[in-house]
Structure formats: C-alpha cells, structure tokens
Amino acid sequence: MHAVILAGGKGVRLRPYTTALPKPLVPIGDQHAILDIVLRQLSTAGFSHCTIAIGHLGQIIRAYVGDGAQWGMNIDYAVEESPLGTMGPLLTLRERLPEHFLVMNGDVLTDLDYADVLRRHEASGAPLTIATYARKVHIDFGVLTTDASRVVAFTEKPSIDYRVSMGVYGVSRGALDGYTPGLPLGFDELVVDLLAAGRPPYAYDFDGYWLDIGRPDDYDRANAEFTSRKSLLLKGA
C-alpha cells in the first residue's frame, strides 16, 4: 500500500512553534515528532511505500526522514516549488502512484485505521473517500426562521450536528483526470467538481480519537493528552 503525506505548508497558524521547524516535525511528548508517529502508524498498518510532499523547510523533513529505513518503509519526496493546495501535489505525482492510494495531512494525530480507509475506498468504487469526524455547534441564542418579514419558526438555543473532513483521504487516480499538473488544486475544488460530475465521494465515518494540530491550543492539547493516549496511538508500533 502507498501513502502520500502532505507536508509542504508553512504552518502559519502554529507559529511561533513553526518558525524554525516544519509543522510535521514539532515534538509531541518527549520522544516523537508528529511525522514520526504518523510513519510508525502507517508502517504498522502495512504501508510499504510513502511519498512526502515537501515545500517550506522541506530540507529539514528530508534530513529527518531519509529513505524511510528507520520505519521499514520506502520513502521518496515530491517538492512543491510554490503552494499547490491540498490536492495539487498529487497531479505532479500521478504517474508515480498506484491506482488507489492514501493521502493525509502531516499534522493529524489519530488512531484511525489507515489501511481500512484504503480498503473501504477501493471497495466503494468512488473516486475519492473522505474520513469524517462528528462535530457539534451549540448556538447561544434562540434561532428565528423568517419568510417575507414574518417569523415562521423558532428554536431555542439549538445544537447543530455535522461532520468535518479529518484530512485523510482514499484517492483513485481517476479522480485527478482533467486537471493540469503544476497548477493548484484545492480539496474543496475537487469535491465540488466530483459532485457536479455525478461522482460523489464516499464518506468514511470515524468516531475514535482525532486531533488536527493546526493552532497553538491544539498543539498544547496534543502534548497534554499524549501520555495517556500513547498506547492507543502507537499500538503495535
């Protein structure tokens, strides 16, 4: 199995931690970088090949990871000379990738079964699979529904349930048809285009542990929780 890790971002929201380090290399706990945890998980799940898309401070990632022997994997790199969005790096990699592969952000902390995501993606027949996570928003006010200047419904302080993308995807090469290598392609653009073409993505719903380490508060939480979650996140690794 083949995975692509997206690690080319500048980590602006996580500054000052990312001033000198790329976000995937910020430490979690006393021993592990985020990327080390992810690579351990992928290796344990049976992934033998990984391509890391690098950009900002990419030379540090390359020096840290090397050829992947430390994790028992074959690791190579794709260099973003300019930002290409979430899916843009895949366009330049397309001929190096198998028919179905996993794509994930390099700052995700989760006990998600990556191999199962890819298996379910292949079985679904969809061009794209999105790992999703439940979220809830509590609204602190009564919500009015109006029509032609009349109140037609009222809900007192409702909660809205929804699901978000976890930053982990199963992708088939056919999902990338029609896009130009070297040009940016965002996740949102790809999803909208697939929906318009009548090729809806498959949703892989997950309710375990997931933390997107995008902001200082998220990073602080990850470090606070890592000791108690370590056996869960690194089981078998």
> Is the distance from CB of 173 to CB of 73 less than 8 angstroms?
no
Q: Can you name the residues that pair with 168 across neighbouring β-strands?
A: 104
Q: What's the pLDDT band for 121 if we cut at 50, 70, 90?
A: very high
* Alpha carbons 94 and 170: distance in angstroms, whole number: 14
Mean pLDDT, the chain, integer: 90
* Alpha carbons 194 and 53: distance in angstroms, whole number: 23
Tokens representing 35 are 């990327």
Q: CATH homologous superfamily for 2-131+165-233?
A: Spore Coat Polysaccharide Biosynthesis Protein SpsA; Chain A (3.90.550.10)
Instruction: Domain ranges for the chain, please list them.
Output: 2-131+165-233
Phi, psi of 179 (to 5 degrees): -100, 150
135-174: per-residue pLDDT in tens?
Answer: 988 888 899 999 988 998 989 888 888 999 999 999 999 9
More reliable by pLDDT, 219 or 15: 219
pLDDT > 70 in the chain, percent: 94
Phi, psi of 101 (to 5 degrees): -155, 165
Q: Which amino acid is at 194?
A: L
Measured at the CA of 91, the angle between CA 176 and CA 186, to 5 degrees, comes to 75
14-47: per-residue pLDDT in tens?
Answer: 555 555 678 888 888 777 889 999 999 999 999 9
Q: What's the pLDDT band for 131 if we cut at 50, 70, 90?
A: very high
